[in-house]
């Protein structure tokens, strides 16, 4: 079972995933990344949406 680490690059910073997660295989890890990635994106402020 592979242990994969999801490091985050944000505003020129690197946030290392020191713990990682175990996944059954790389395909399962890829699906998790696809589902989790959008949740990590900053949400636009209400004022930015009204422009």
* Domain boundaries along the sequence of the chain: 3-39
* DSSP-assigned beta bridge partners for residue 3: 22
The percentage of residues in the chain with a pLDDT greater than 90, rounded to a whole number, is 29
pLDDT number for residue 23: 94
Give this prediction's pTM: 0.58
For residue 49, the model assigns a pLDDT of: 61
* pLDDT single digits (tens) 13-37: 999 999 999 999 999 998 988 888 7
What does the radius of gyration of the chain's CA atoms come to, in whole angstroms? 15
38 vs 33, which has greater pLDDT? 33
């Amino acid at each position: 079972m592979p242990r994969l680490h999801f490091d985050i690059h944000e505003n020129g910073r690197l946030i290392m995933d020191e713990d990682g997660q175990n996944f059954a295989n790389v395909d399962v890890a890829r699906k998790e990344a696809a589902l989790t990635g959008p949740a990590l994106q900053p949400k636009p402020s209400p004022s930015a949406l009204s422009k």
